[in-house]
Amino acid sequence: MALSGGIDLGGTKIQAAVIEADGGVAGQSRRPTPTTGGPADVVEAIAGALREAAAEAGVETSALDGVGVGSPGVVDDDAGTVAGARNLPDWQGTFDVRTALEQACGTRVSLGNDVQVATDAEFALGAGRQYSSLLGVFWGTGVGGGIVLDGRPWTGRDAAGEIGHVVVRQGGALCGCGRRGCMEAYAGRAAMEARARRRYDRGEKTVLFKIMKERGRTRLTSGVWARALEKGDPVARNLLDRAVRALGAGIASSQNLLDVEAIVIGGGLGIRLGQPYVDRIREAMMPHLFNDESPPAIELAALGDLGGAIGASLLISAATPASR
C-alpha cells in the first residue's frame, strides 16, 4: 500500500506522521523542535521523527512515496528552501531543506506553508469535507489562516491568509509583528502570555504561572490556559474573553470580504479549548457579520494535532477518501 510522510514543523514541536492513501494514519511520532543549533539540527530532528513514524508503520523512510513538510517562514517549493523562519533556531537566512532531508530520508521531499497544508487537510479529510470554500483559523502562539476557494487553495502571491494581522483596533495593542491592533495582539497565545505576565507582575492574582511551574513548563501552554479556566482564574478568563472578542471581529471581517461556506477553527488553543470556544467565537462573530441572515458554518478542526502532518503528506499523495 502506498504510504507518504508528513511533517508539521512548528516552533515548539515536530510532528511526523506516515499516512495511507485513504488518509489513515499508519504511524506517528513527535519530538521537541531544537531550540539551539541551526537548520541542519532541525532537519536531523525531522528525519529522526520521520524514522520513528515509519518504523511504527513497519517501513523504512526510503520506502515512502515521499515526505511533505509544512513549514513556517517563507517556503519556496520550487527551490526547496525555507527562509526567515523566526521561530526556528538560527533560521534568519535561506536553507535548502529539500536536499538535506532527501539525503537523510532517501525519498523525495515537497514543501508547503504550515497553515495552508493544515487547511488543505481539514478541507480534504476533516471538518471542511462537505464544503467547497473555507477559511481555516489556527489559534495558537499566533493566529494563522488558510483559504480554500472553489475547492482550491488560495495563497495569493504566497503571503495570503495572514488573518492574525487583520486589524481589529486601529492604534490598538502592540503585536509581536511590530504593528498595532492586529487580531493576534489580542488572541495569540504569545501576546496573551505577555499580558498575563504584566498583570501578574503588577500584583494581580492568577494561578496561570503556578500551573505552568507545576507542569514543568516555561510557557503558558494551551493546557495551562485550559486548566486555569477550569479553576475559575479571573485573569485567564478575562484574557480569553478578550481573545474571543478579537477573533470574532477578525473572523467576521474576513467573512464579510470572502463569504466562504465554512470557518474551521484549529490550532493549539482552538483544539484544546474545543467546541465550547468554537461556539463562543461564533457568538462573538455574529454582531460584526454583514450577511448575518446566512452565517457561515463554524466547525472545530476534526484532525486535531495531526492535521498539519496529514496536510503535509497531501503534498505527496493528494490523499482523498472515496467519499469526497
Q: In whole angstroms, how close is the CB of 188 to a second copy at the nearest point?
A: 13
* 149 binds a second copy per the rule CB under 8 A: yes
Complex with a second copy: residue 145 or 311, whichever CB lies closer: 145
In the complex with a second copy, the residue whose CB is nearer, 158 or 204, is: 158
Q: Residue 178 CB, nearest distance to a second copy (Å)?
A: 9
32 binds a second copy, rule: CB under 8 A: no
Size of the site for a second copy (CB under 8 A): 43
Give the x-and-dash track for 175-214 against a second copy (CB under 8 A).
Answer: --x-xxxx--------------------------------
> Do the strands 134-139 and 262-266 form a parallel or antiparallel pair, or are they unpaired?
parallel
The reply to whether 124 sits near a second copy by the rule CB under 8 A is no
Would you state the cell numbers that stand for residue 274, as one nine-digit string? Answer: 474545543
Where does residue 212 rank: exposed (0-12), middle (13-18), buried (19+ CB within 10 A)?
Answer: buried
Q: Which residues contact 4 (CB under 8 A, 6 or more apart)?
A: 18, 19, 64, 65, 66, 67, 68, 313, 316, 317, 319
Residue 23 as a binder of a second copy (CB under 8 A): the answer is no
Residue 178 or 216 with smaller CB distance to a second copy? 178
CB 168 within 8 Å of CB 180? no
CB 101 within 8 A of CB 183: no
What single-letter amino acid sits at 256? N
| Stretch near a second copy under the rule CB under 8 A, chosen from 6-14, 205-213, 263-271, 288-296 | 288-296
Q: Is 226 exposed, middle or buried (0-12, 13-18, 19+ CB in 10 A)?
A: middle
Pick out residues in 245-284 that bind a second copy (CB under 8 A). Answer: 245-246, 249-250, 252-254, 256-261
Which residues sit at the interface with a second copy, rule CB under 8 A? Answer: 133, 145, 147, 149, 154-163, 165-170, 177, 179-182, 245-246, 249-250, 252-254, 256-261, 287-288, 290-291, 294
